Structure 1
Amino acid sequence: MRPTAQFKKGVLDICVLYLLQYHDQYGYDLTQQVNKHIPITEGALYPSLRRLVKDGYCSTYLQESPSGPSRKYYHITNTGRIYLKEMLAEWDHFVTSFQQLREEADRDE
């Protein structure tokens, strides 16, 4: 079963920030990494990246590429690290709450 578009959209920001906390990356590379686990199109990622930059959670810089034009790299900011920590806590709480709901509903059946 594949996640719906709404599920994907809801977790894409957290996926991107999670990956960026380890090292700067460019858009195509981020798409490939996310796509290993959550099927997305390359175009789906860029609105999320633009929003993260606009909101101050990421910054960008250009770096020369050995195989073509310069690439735009994304870097998580300190504000982005704080936001990621908050989002992960909210995500964990949500998942735990949903699991409890499922367990109670299954028990009641």
Structure 2
Amino acid sequence: MLVLATLARGSAHGYALAEALRTASGGEFDVPEGSLYPALHRLERSGAITSEWVHDGRRRRVYAITAAGAAQLTRETGAWQRFADGVASTLAAPAIRPAVQGV
């Protein structure tokens, strides 16, 4: 979901994508290449993203989100929001009163 959300802001090569994730998360998501590239390959195989080789002084593979990836992002964002709302509600719930003994 985070990779798709980042690519929804614009196409990027792997290193730029990792840096964008790190920056946007305030350093919380420092994704190693060993995790990022397999995830990109899975997303590409599923049709959520595409890639192409570009030459801008260096040869780089640039990734972009597809319409299917945007739809997946919408679904996953909704599911995450429902989960986060459930966690927040649970944390904010009033304390459970202890059972009364001997009644």
Indicate the TM-score class for this superposition, using the shorter chain for normalisation: 0.7 to 0.9
Is 1:46 the equivalent of 2:37?
Answer: yes
* TM-score between the two structures when normalised by the length of structure 1: 0.78
Partner of residue 2 from structure 2, selected from 5, 15, 28: 15
In terms of fraction of residues, the more helix-rich structure is 1
The higher radius of gyration belongs to 2
Root-mean-square deviation over aligned CA pairs: 1.2
Query: 5+ residue gaps in structure 1?
Result: 1-13
- 1:86 positional shift: 0.6
Is 1:88 the equivalent of 2:80?
Answer: no
Which stretches of structure 1, 4 residues or more, deviate above 2 A after TM superposition? Answer: none
Aligned residues: 92
Query: 5+ residue gaps in structure 2?
Result: 97-103
Distance 1:40 1:25 in 2: 15
Between the two proteins, what is the percent identity of the paired residues? Answer: 25
* TM-score between the two structures when normalised by the length of structure 2: 0.83
